[in-house]
């Protein structure tokens, strides 16, 4: 059985006090805390190996280049890609989606085509597609979810047709925790000749992925939600698609030969890595993956699920409180509000009690519109959280409700 107390010392920030109280960090869905090995890796490389990659013959550059390319291979293993050339380093999932939305649409999207998005997408998987649709005269369609947070895949035959070119869907909702039936989405899209991009920001942390087995065409995630630093992310794409698409950005490292008459581009994966990459962040991402791989992923999932159920059971006893997202297999995210009380007010009181949660629309305004609300409180659970922290959350919300007059 997974024991969070055995790893908490690995995360230095968890010993922090907030307003004289121990920190209960329940905002890992926004960014996860970093284990000491990741922090040490960044410090080590900054101290001993810092040099730009790919363009130097001196020792430090060669050493850092090796670190960077080893990180790419580690990511390939972690996500089950066939080739490391299908792994593109970006600054995060937002940059990864924008890369596909721009480069793929330039090659494959035309006036009259349509793009299907799920109603539960993060803004980063909505706005880039809107921009692409505006550039090319395409239409955006929306696959809705029901009030339980279940994506209504039974509507796919009505929404996907011969002009559907792209389906973009989350692996797990950052707001509701819902895990859509990706097999149904991918099968329906491929049957119509469309391609599929999966936003794995939450899903890769809670359950993981094998992109080859999943069969998606693109997969994106951010390192900072996977216990790695900010500023590093990954775009996986099927080789034949990546090779057929034009570059997204131009600059150093993504070129083969440059003249004023014509420029030719570097082969994959450098074709999509213009400029100086976050080579230290990439190496630290590999270290985070190594750290996670020492544990049984299914045991971590069970631990997080037990904590989520404990939180939901306790919160449901509070009068006027509603939990959003009730699918039985959701990942450990508990989003809620209390009738007549603003979510910001609850969040601020929890903060004074040392409990960190996220408030607002969580970059998912269409989800808020679905329920007719302006925002929610969200507690997102990670491997290092404990039952005591969950109890502090429940007690803190109950106290906030009493203080705010309900």
Residue 405 has pLDDT above 80, yes or no: no
The catalytic residue positions are: 363
Q: From 3.90.1150.10, 3.40.50.300, 1.10.620.20, 3.40.30.10, which CATH number describes the 4-30+296-403 domain? A: 3.90.1150.10
3-state secondary structure the chain: CCCHHHCHHHCHHHHCEECCEECEECECCCCCCCCHHHHHHHHHHHHHCCCCCCCCCCHHHHHHHHHHHHHHHHHHHHHCCCCHHHEEEECCHHHHHHHHHHHHHHHHCCCCCEEEEECCCCHHHCHHHHHHHHHHCCEEEEECECCCCCECHHHHHHHCCCCEEEEEEECCCCCCCCCCCHHHHHHHHHHCCCEEEEECCCCCCCCCCCHHHHCCCEEEEEHHHHCCCCCCEEEEECHHHHHHCCCCCCCCCCEEEECCCCEEECCCCHHHCCCCCCHHHHHHHHHHHHHHHCCCHHHHHHHHHHHHHHHHHHHCCCCCEEEECCCCCCCCEEEEEECCECHHHHHHHHHHCCEECEEECCCCHHHHHHHCCCCEEEEECCCCCCHHHHHHHHHHHHHHHHHCCC
**Percentage of the chain lying above the pLDDT 70 cut:** 100
Q: Is a pLDDT exceeding 70 seen at residue 321? A: yes
Q: What mean pLDDT is reported for the chain?
A: 97
Predicted TM-score (pTM) of this structure: 0.97
pLDDT of residue 281: 98
pLDDT, tens digit, 9 for 90 and up, residues 222-264: 999 999 999 999 999 999 999 999 999 999 999 999 999 999 9
Q: Tens of pLDDT along 125-171?
A: 999 999 999 999 999 999 999 999 999 999 999 999 999 999 999 99
- What pLDDT was estimated at residue 292? 98
CATH (residue range 39-293) = 3.40.640.10
Q: Where are the domains of the chain?
A: 4-30+296-403, 39-293
What confidence tier does 56 reach under pLDDT thresholds 50, 70, 90?
Answer: confident
pLDDT value, residue 230: 98
At residue 406, the pLDDT reads 59
pLDDT digits (tens, 9 = 90+) for 35-44: 999 999 999 9
> For 333-383, how does the pLDDT look when each residue is reduced to its tens digit (9 = 90+)?
999 999 999 999 999 999 999 999 999 999 999 999 999 999 999 999 999
| 1 has a pLDDT exceeding 90 | no
């Amino acid at each position: 059985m997974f024991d969070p107390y055995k790893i908490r010392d690995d995360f230095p920030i968890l010993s922090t006090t907030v307003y004289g109280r121990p920190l209960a960090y329940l905002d890992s869905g926004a960014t996860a805390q970093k284990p000491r090995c990741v922090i040490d890796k960044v410090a080590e490389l900054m101290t001993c190996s810092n040099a730009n990659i790919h363009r130097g013959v001196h020792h430090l550059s060669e050493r850092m280049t090796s670190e960077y390319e080893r990180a790419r291979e580690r990511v390939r293993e972690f996500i089950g890609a066939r080739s490391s050339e299908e792994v593109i380093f970006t600054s995060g999932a937002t940059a990864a989606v924008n890369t596909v939305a721009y480069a793929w649409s330039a090659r494959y999207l035309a006036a009259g085509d349509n793009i299907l998005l799920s109603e539960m997408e993060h803004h980063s998987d909505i706005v880039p597609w809107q921009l692409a649709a505006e550039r090319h005269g395409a239409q955006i369609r929306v696959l809705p979810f029901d009030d339980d947070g279940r994506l209504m895949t039974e509507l796919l035959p009505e929404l996907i047709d011969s002009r559907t070119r792209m389906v973009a869907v989350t692996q797990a909702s950052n707001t509701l925790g819902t895990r859509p039936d990706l097999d149904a989405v991918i099968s329906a899209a491929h049957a119509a000749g469309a391609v599929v991009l999966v936003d794995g920001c939450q899903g890769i942390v809670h359950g993981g992925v094998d992109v080859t087995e999943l069969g998606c065409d693109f997969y994106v995630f951010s390192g900072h939600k996977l216990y790695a630093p900010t500023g590093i992310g990954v775009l996986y794409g099927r080789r034949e698609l990546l090779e057929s698409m034009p570059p997204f950005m131009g600059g150093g490292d993504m070129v083969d030969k440059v003249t004023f008459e014509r420029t030719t581009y570097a082969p994959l994966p450098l074709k999509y890595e213009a400029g100086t990459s976050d080579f230290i962040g990439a190496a630290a991402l590999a270290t985070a993956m190594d750290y996670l791989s020492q544990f049984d992923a299914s045991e971590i999932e069970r631990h997080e699920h037990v904590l989520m159920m404990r939180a939901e059971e306790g919160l449901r006893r509070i009068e006027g409180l509603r939990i959003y997202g009730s699918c039985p297999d959701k990942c450990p995210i508990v989003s809620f509000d209390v009738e007549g009380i603003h979510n910001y007010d609850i969040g601020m009181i929890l903060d004074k009690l040392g409990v960190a949660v996220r408030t607002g629309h969580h970059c998912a305004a269409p989800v808020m519109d679905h329920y007719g609300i302006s925002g929610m409180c969200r507690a997102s659970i990670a491997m290092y959280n404990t039952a005591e922290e969950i109890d502090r959350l429940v007690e803190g919300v109950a106290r906030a409700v009493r203080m705010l007059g309900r």
